[in-house]
Structure 1
Amino acid sequence: MGGSVTGGIAVRELHSLEEFGEVFRLFDRIWRPDPGGAPVTVELMRALSHAGNYVAGAYAEDGRLAGASVGFLAAPAGRALHSHVTGAETGRGVGLALKLHQREWALARGLDRVTWTYDPLVRRNAHFNLVKLGALPEEYLPSFYGAMDDAINAGDESDRVLAVWRLAEPRVAAAVRGEPCPPEVPPDAATGLGERDGRPVPGRADARVVLVAVPSDVEALRRRDPGAAKAWRHAVREVLGGLMAEGARVTGFHQKSCYVVERPG
């Protein structure tokens, strides 16, 4: 697949050093990493693209690069693409345009899933991944990248969840048509982790369905109250990570505020 246009955003695969340089500078503006800490280098993008992996850019109507995504073929062989890093300007539909292009790229090559990691504390990302795309977290990964010193993650631990986008599933097809399926939240669902005065409040996690809240804006909280941000990190790791380690599955994200987790059986 070469290119696509969604909401005025044109997405296409990239192949030249000049294009990879544009992506590098875009990512530098987004993450502002320490020297040597760039999420991906020009040389690596060149190698990945040449080897048939996924490197794509999203362009606004004025021709300016507004987002980009870099991924590589992953296990299980012949079935999965792992989206390693995606950066986009917010509020313009760039992220959605990139993901829709990525989905079509994967389907055209006979792949049935795309995976990526994201910070489970970032509400807008959870809503985007689970509701707008129909992906679901399938693994909790504590301190996955170790210490990170960029402007977005500095001072926090790099817990991630592995999102799995099963491209042919009806819930995914509905979501990308703009028809997301809300998760089932029964009346007896328990609050495993709630919020009071901006801080996490542990509840009970022994019900069949458990709700796990995350803060409204963890990135702002890191700057304003690092202690509260750390408390959220450890609480979500204990409750959400603990449930997933026990075999519970996340079924959705409720009211843009909390994960819905269902115990097996």
Structure 2
Amino acid sequence: MNRDATSGDGADRTAGGVVVRELHSLQEFGEVFRLFERIWRPDPGNPPATVELMRALSHAGNYVAGAYEDGRLAGASVGFLAAPAGRALHSHVTGASAGRGIGFALKLHQRSWALERGLDRVTWTYDPLVRRNAHFNLVKLGALPEEYLPSFYGAMGDAINAGDESDRVLAVWRLAEPHVAAAARREPYLPDVPAEAVTGLGERDGRPVAGRTDARVVLVAVPDDVEDLRRRDPEAAKAWRHAVREVLGGLMEEGAKVTGFHHKSCYVVERPS
């Protein structure tokens, strides 16, 4: 994922002690399959990526990579070339051990891989309610949501998403943008939030509270830990899902742009002038 983390000679990339490289063998794909099973604990008939799919994608020149820490597979990412043709890679699934820089190392490798092939963007979907993912994607990487996708995957039965609707946003990582290059150098992307910004969706006692959306800049909060909330209070989790869909999804449908993520808690959304 990044010209800043590669020699350009096809060698393994290393970032923060983590070695990231493309994968090509059935044994490696089997390791990725088992890693993803441990992370998502999916229904047996619906794994995030099968060994056969990874084999086919890799053989056809798409992206399958693993991140190794002390020789052990600690993260992996699977993606495929996407529209617009010759310009985009879609990162279909990425999973990594949390909190040790594995995910960031994978994204740097993915950015390098794309740039070396003349691509100018990487896209992926993520759940807009998962606060830590929003912070990682928008602040640490500099990607920005460009489309709200209600119930994108339909019903999902894995241990992380069960019981909730699969709303997603499409994150677009425009690789040559100066703020993205800076983020790859570990300079977080922090949006400007004017004093006159209003709260379109806030929080009170763990529940969403609707506010104003008629200003130029609107802040849209998400819950602290929606995955825990799904277990403790499914009705509150459902309320957040519908509120974020209505406010964030509604603003984006009207043409407003997400410009960043503020204080690890809320999206910054700007209406067109």
Shorter-chain TM-score range: over 0.9
Q: Does 1:169 align with 2:177?
A: yes
What is the DSSP-based 3-state SS (H/G/I as helix, E as strand, rest coil) of the residue aligned with 1:10? strand
Q: Write the deviation string for residues 13-68 of structure 1: whole angstroms up to 9, x where unpaired.
A: 0000000000000000000011111011000000000000000000002x110000
Where has structure 1 moved over 4 Å in runs of 4 or more? none
CA distance in 1, matches of 2:177, 2:129: 26
Q: Write the deviation string for residues 101-147 of structure 1: whole angstroms up to 9, x where unpaired.
A: 00000000000000000000000000000000000000000000000
Q: Does 1:48 align with 2:48?
A: no
TM-score, scaled to structure 1: 0.99
Q: 2:31 aligns with which of 22, 29, 38?
A: 22
Could you tell me which residue of structure 2 aligns to residue 242 of structure 1?
250
CA distance in 2, matches of 1:34, 1:55: 22
Runs of 5+ in structure 2 lacking a partner? 1-9
Could you tell me which residue of structure 2 aligns to residue 193 of structure 1?
201
Q: What is the deviation of 1:184?
A: 1.2
CA distance in 1, matches of 2:142, 2:241: 24
Q: Does 1:109 align with 2:117?
A: yes
TM-score, scaled to structure 2: 0.96
| Residues 140 and 189 in structure 2, CA contact (< 8 A), matched pair in contact too | no
Could you tell me which residue of structure 2 aligns to residue 182 of structure 1?
190
Could you tell me which residue of structure 2 aligns to residue 60 of structure 1?
69
| Mapping of residues 100-179 of structure 1, within 5 Å | 100-179=108-187
Q: Does 1:82 align with 2:110?
A: no
Q: What is the deviation of 1:181?
A: 3.2
Q: What is the deviation of 1:2?
A: 4.2
Q: 1:229 aligns with which of 226, 237, 240?
A: 237
CA distance in 2, matches of 1:217, 1:230: 13
Q: What is the deviation of 1:219?
A: 0.3
| Residues 138 and 249 in structure 1, CA contact (< 8 A), matched pair in contact too | yes
Could you tell me which residue of structure 2 aligns to residue 259 of structure 1?
267
Runs of 5+ in structure 1 lacking a partner? none
Could you tell me which residue of structure 2 aligns to residue 70 of structure 1?
78
| Residues 92 and 124 in structure 2, CA contact (< 8 A), matched pair in contact too | yes
Q: Write the deviation string for residues 138-161 of structure 1: whole angstroms up to 9, x where unpaired.
A: 000000000000000000000000
| Residues 141 and 159 in structure 1, CA contact (< 8 A), matched pair in contact too | yes
Q: Does 1:3 align with 2:41?
A: no
Give the percent of matched residue pairs that are identical in Structure 1 and Structure 2.
Answer: 85
CA distance in 2, matches of 1:180, 1:122: 19
